Homo-oligomer: A and B are copies of this chain.
C-alpha cells in the first residue's frame, strides 16, 4: 500500500482531498487493476480527509474486494441497490465522499467528461507528481519488470527461430509470439505486438498483415509482456538470409543505441540520451529518417514518465526504467529499430532484454 506517498504529496500542496482516475496510478496506490479498452473513466480512488475509498462499477465489486483488503471498496449502479452499492453513476458516487471545494486531480490522464464533473471546484493538478512518483521503481517493481523481460526475451527467441526456419506471415508470427508470452506467464500484452516484414517495417507502428517474409528481407519485432501488471518493451530487427544494405543501416542503429544506453545514468538529462543516439544517426546521413523519440519510461503503463526525446526536460534518476529504441525508416524499402528496456543506476544501466542483438 503506497497511499502514504499520496498523503505526502497532498501535505506538500496543502490539500485535503484527491481524486485519482488514472487506472495505472490507482493500481500503484492500491493494488487494484482495472482492465478496460474503453476511453472513459469508470473507476476512481477518492482520498479525502485521510480516508481512501475505491469506487468501481458493480461488475467489478467482487474482484476489487478480492484484490485489496485494506481499503473500502464501493460500487456504483444505476440499477441496483444494496450493501456497498451507491445508486447512481461514478460522479454521484464520487461526490458522496467529497466535502471540500479544493481537490487534487490527475488531470493529464482523465477524460474531458470526467474533468467536467469538477468544473465548480478549485483544482490542483497532481499528474506530474504521480508520474514522478511512479517513475522511480521500488525493488519489487523492478523484479516484476525483469520477469516481464524474461518472458519477452523468451518469445523473441522463438520469433527469431521461426523466422529462420519457416515460412511465416506477420499475423502468424505475432500469434506465435503472443502464445509464447502467455505460456511463459504473461497475463496480457503490454501493447499490440508489432511484426513487420520488408517494406512494412518502414512504418514504426505497423499492424500485422498476411505478408510472408522472403529471403533477404528483414523483420522488425516490437513486443512486450505484461506480468503482474508491469510492462516490458523490446524490439529486434532480424534479417532472413543476407542483405548488405539492411545490414549497413542496422550497424548505424546499433551504434546509436549502444551510445545512448552508455550515456544513460542517474543525473543525466533524458534529452542527452536522445541526443547521443540522434548524433550518431545524423552523422551517418540518416538523421531525417529517425522520426520518433529515442525512448520512454516503462512500468505499469508501457509509455510513462520520463519521455526520452529532444524536448524532454526530465532528469534520469536511479531505478527509473526506460526504453532506448532508435530507428531508421526508409519508405518503400525497410526500417530498422533496436530497443532495450533498461534500469537506470548510478553507473552503467542494467539492460534487461537478453536476446542477442549483434547480426
Interface residue from B171, B181, B188, B288 paired with A187 (Cβ < 8 Å): B171
Chain B residues with Cβ under 8 A from A208's Cβ?
182, 187-188
Size class of the A contact interface (CB-based, 8 Å): 35 or more
Complex: A37 Cα to B202 Cα, angstroms = 20
**Interface pair A207/B188, CB less than 8 Å apart:** yes
- Complex: A78 Cα to B307 Cα, angstroms: 13
A66 CA to B60 CA, complexed, in Å: 41
Q: Is A286 at the interface (CB under 8 A from chain B)?
A: no
Contacts of A310 in B (CB 8 A): 78-79
Do B205 and A59 have beta carbons less than 8 Å apart?
A: yes
Beta-carbon contact of B172 and A183 below 8 Å: yes
Q: Within the assembled complex, what's the spacing in Å between the Cα atoms of A298 and B79?
A: 23
Expressed in whole angstroms, the Cα–Cα distance for A311 and B79 within the complex equals 8
Residues 60-95 of chain A: 1 if any B CB is under 8 Å from the residue's CB, otherwise 0?
111100100000000001111010000000000000
User: Which residues in B have their C-beta under 8 angstroms from that of A303?
Assistant: 37-38
Most buried by B among A22, A38, A62: A62
Q: Do residues A59 and B112 form an inter-chain contact, with CB atoms below 8 A?
A: no
Q: What B residues does A244 contact at CB under 8 A?
A: none
Binds B, one of A8-16, A103-111, A253-261: A103-111
Given contacts A37-B192, A112-B114, A302-B37, contact A309 B183 (CB under 8 A): no
Taking the closest CB of chain B, its distance from the CB of A108, in whole angstroms, is 6
A314 to chain B: closest CB distance in Å? 15
Enumerate chain B residues within 8 angstroms of A175, measured Cβ to Cβ: 178-183
19 residue pairs A–B, Cβ–Cβ below 8 Å: A35-B192, A58-B292, A60-B205, A62-B203, A63-B203, A66-B203, A77-B291, A79-B310, A79-B311, A80-B288, A107-B113, A108-B113, A110-B111, A171-B185, A172-B182, A174-B182, A178-B178, A185-B210, A188-B207
